[in-house]
């Protein structure tokens, strides 16, 4: 059973370009979470999705950022018109469909390191 | 809202010494708590989790954590540090209906 797969591992974009980060959850997982990690700041929650639904996007910047988790295919985090401040590591995590128990942990991918030049 | 505070952004120990990484939580309801480890340029790996079955939780790589409700703490310990333990450690709390909330992390350095 493959783990959470993120690609690309490293992404370089010029200011003003778009960045698309992909995340394929573990098999059988239908909950996906995106986090952003900046140095000295830990992991900041961005968005929580289930298939075709955004459950909680309270951590998403109001502009330029969007996320989706379609019925088929990976979850996508899209950043439009990137700026230098968007440079960070972006992590995706997934958890099983039955998340009724709050002691269910999330499984993390290896992250996408975005560099805006 | 639930939150976690990790005291000390950097901890340095000698090989063979006790490791103690501190985590305090705030929660109005019984929390579900986790410790994750992150090695350089890697994702996060679960070390252990508190499931309310026992207050002393044993995890991988010889780590354990004790849930103390009276102190609202969930400190991570290991009796004897190994060089391979050098990494960043994150405490997290589960918030009902949404995602894990993480502390800012503690970087553990181990010297020979």
Show residues of chain A in contact with B43, CB under 8 Å: 4, 91, 108-111
- With a cut of 70, say whether residue A103 has pLDDT above it: no
Digit-coded pLDDT (tens) for A82-101: 999 999 999 999 988 655 45
CB A26 within 8 A of CB A1: yes
Show residues of chain A in contact with B103, CB under 8 Å: 42
Question: How many CA atoms lie less than 13 Å away from B56 in the CB half-sphere?
Answer: 4
d(CA A23, CA A47): 13
Cis-peptide into A64, omega within 30 deg? no
The dihedral through the CA atoms of B3, B4, B8, B10 has a sign that is negative
- Determine the pLDDT at residue A98: 55
Q: Average pLDDT, whole number, for chain B?
A: 90
Question: Distance of CA A50 to CAs A1, A55, B54, Å?
Answer: 20, 7, 31
Separation in Å, CA of A103 to nearest CA in chain B: 6
- With a cut of 90, say whether residue B64 has pLDDT above it: yes
- Name the pLDDT band for A102 (thresholds 50, 70, 90): low
Higher-scoring residue by pLDDT: B55, B76? B76
B:64-103 residues touching chain A, CB 8 A cutoff: 90, 94, 96-103
């Amino acid at each position: 059973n493959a783990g959470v797969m993120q690609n690309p591992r490293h992404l370089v974009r010029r200011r003003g370009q778009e960045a698309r980060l992909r995340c394929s959850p573990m098999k059988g997982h239908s909950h996906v979470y995106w986090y952003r990690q900046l140095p000295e700041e830990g992991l900041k929650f961005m968005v929580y999705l289930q298939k075709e639904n955004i459950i909680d996007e309270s951590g998403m910047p109001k502009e330029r950022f969007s996320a989706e988790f379609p019925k088929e295919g990976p979850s996508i985090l899209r950043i439009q018109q990137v700026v230098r401040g968007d440079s960070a590591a972006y992590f995706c995590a997934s958890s099983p469909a039955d998340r009724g128990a709050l002691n269910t942990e999330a499984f993390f991918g290896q992250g996408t390191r975005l560099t805006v030049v | 809202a639930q939150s976690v505070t990790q005291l000390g952004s950097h901890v340095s120990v000698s090989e063979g010494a006790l490791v103690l990484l501190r985590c305090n939580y705030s929660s109005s309801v019984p929390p579900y708590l986790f410790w994750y480890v992150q090695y350089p340029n890697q994702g996060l790996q679960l070390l252990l989790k508190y499931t309310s079955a026992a207050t002393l939780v044993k995890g991988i790589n010889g780590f354990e954590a004790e849930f103390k409700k009276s102190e609202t703490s969930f400190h991570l310990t290991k009796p004897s540090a190994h060089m391979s333990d050098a990494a960043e450690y994150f405490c997290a709390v589960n918030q009902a209906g949404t995602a894990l909330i993480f502390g800012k992390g503690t970087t553990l350095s181990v010297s020979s």
